[in-house]
Structure 1
């Protein structure tokens, strides 16, 4: 039987969201040993090795002068601020909770595209926003721990920042290879990561252990490097809206790994929130696919 793009993309999609889900558990494992900002810095530094390897074929691509500001925005908002906030959120709340809140990313991208690019807000997008807010409210309804609430707020801010960065990333990937955009933006983020990481290392205790070293390597090489390759591979086989349908797998994998490795326990509200946010992601992805088809048909007619 001849392999279809769907069949070819299925395994890389599973791997991608498993890697992304595992990042939260891995980060939580050493949250007490390495300050969040230093961990974010080390993660991005290590990630440059596989990214440069994957982007080596397009590093000679000429970048228009006016596009560098967008690379800067993606680097700062997406790969510095977002990753730093996520690592901080993981240290404050559970790995599964942070991953679940981060699953709202497709909705954040839709909202930010409407605000920044003035894309049309449809009734489906409004429903997605309602589901996202409801799912978040349900998850936090029984949370009485101040650290958890603060962690959830930090991750929500990270989701909004990544949504804004993704809008500018979409603009760049229309002209440049996605892996090149990721590599250059990650490199720019190090301009901010390195001084912030050094500052945190001098003001907070750092415990270097074999586990900490292994986790840092995993976060950089697998969580940020290999996962970027598998995600890019998926996007080359299927539309982004279809790939986004798998987003609910990220918190599901995090919950499974969190229970197995960290011994995390979940209240019923976590699973109710997971269902609501999953429905929200699926609706958002379907809406994105529908609009993409409309734009394609409109261009053909013109």
Structure 2
């Protein structure tokens, strides 16, 4: 398998891991095995340990003292706020809603890039922005769930906020990812992030009754920590290093498809006309935003 083929495989696996995670994480939380902020501590702490262990066998890279603060700020947006809102949102909404809203990340990144980096937005991209945001708002405001205890409006809002903070994080780390090896960046990101999320979920972590867990529950938690956190952050840099941004952008469409199919199979969600229309709007919008302009500036 050549490097490009492996990069495509890595990118596909990232979408599969994320897609399955919506249902697995929701089962863990909704069955009251682990509350959301405690699960966030397990995700961030477990991934931090694994990345620091891997770094033992990787070439050592010196970090400039001034950049530690930049790592800290990146961890605020990319780990702490981002993951706390994400996991709480997944608890309250459905896998299809959450995974569909997540796909607007390229749209939000474009908006922020135009504001912060002064990047130009074409008329076609403006249309894409409108379509994608309309779809996300439709899901957020009018979405529903068959599960008693879900609060779809609040959950979708949390997922939307998570996407905003993740997009800010992507803008913030552009210089850092160009300067440092991805694993150098990620290990510090998760280390700082762990101490940030610890106060939010410490009490919830103390309430976990590990003795009642079945092997299946342990598998679900390991999947969330090792697969959907460590695995995705491990595979993403491989894909991004070998593939064009436009190729990477296309794969984001797979995430809600995988999440939706798996959630339906697991009886964790259902499909309806609103979800279909909203996803078509979001997919169309993200496609227009992700298209390269043929105009030569």
Quickly name the TM-score band, shorter chain normalised.
0.7 to 0.9
1:5-48 CA distances to partner (integer Å, 9 max, x unpaired)? Answer: 3x443322211100111111111011132111110110111112
Whether 1:28 aligns to 2:26 is yes
Quote the residue 2:257 is aligned against: 252
Alignment check: 8 A CA contact 1:77 1:165 kept:
yes
Cα distance change of structure 1 residues 183 and 286 upon mapping to structure 2, 3 Å threshold: farther
Q: 1:90 to 1:177 in 2, by over 3 A?
A: same
Conserved? CA contact 1:29–1:262, under 8 Å: no
Q: 1:15 — aligned with what?
A: 13
* Structure 2 unmatched ranges of 5 or more: none
Across the aligned residues of Structure 1 and Structure 2, the Cα RMSD in angstroms comes to 2.4
Residue of structure 2 in register with 1:198 after alignment: 202
TM-score by length of 2: 0.88
Structure 1: stretches of 5+ with no match in the other structure: none
Q: Is residue 143–residue 275 contact of structure 2 (8 Å, CA) maintained in 1? A: no
The one of 239, 264, 271 aligned to 2:269: 264
Who is 1:39 aligned against? 39
Are the equivalent residues in 2 in contact too, given 1:138–1:273 (CA < 8 A)? yes
| Deviation larger for 224-233 or 33-42 | 224-233
Corresponding residue of 2:186? 182
Scaled by the length of structure 1, the TM-score of the pair is 0.86
SS state of the match for residue 143, structure 2? coil
Query: Residues 152-171 of structure 1 correspond to what in structure 2 (within 5 A)?
Result: 152-171=156-175
**Alignment of structure 1 residues 1-302 onto 2, 5 Å:** 3=2, 5=4, 7-32=5-30, 33=32, 34-56=34-56, 60-140=60-140, 142-143=142-143, 147-201=151-205, 206-208=208-210, 209-210=213-214, 211-287=216-292, 290=293
Q: Deviations over 1:110-130 (max 9, x none)?
A: 222222223223323322210
2:22 touches 2:99 (CA, 8 Å); kept in 1? yes
CA distance, structure 1, for counterparts of residue 37 and residue 164 of structure 2? 19
Give the deviation of 1:136 after TM superposition. 1.4
Distance 1:200 1:234, change over 3 A: same
Looking at structure 1, the residues matched to 174 and 183 of structure 2 have their Cα atoms a distance apart, in angstroms, of 12
Aligned positions, number: 288
Name the CA distance, whole Å, in 2 between partners of 1:4 and 1:103: 26
Cα-to-partner distance string for 1:122-176 (whole Å, 9 max, x where unaligned): 3233222101111113334543678100101011000000000111121211111
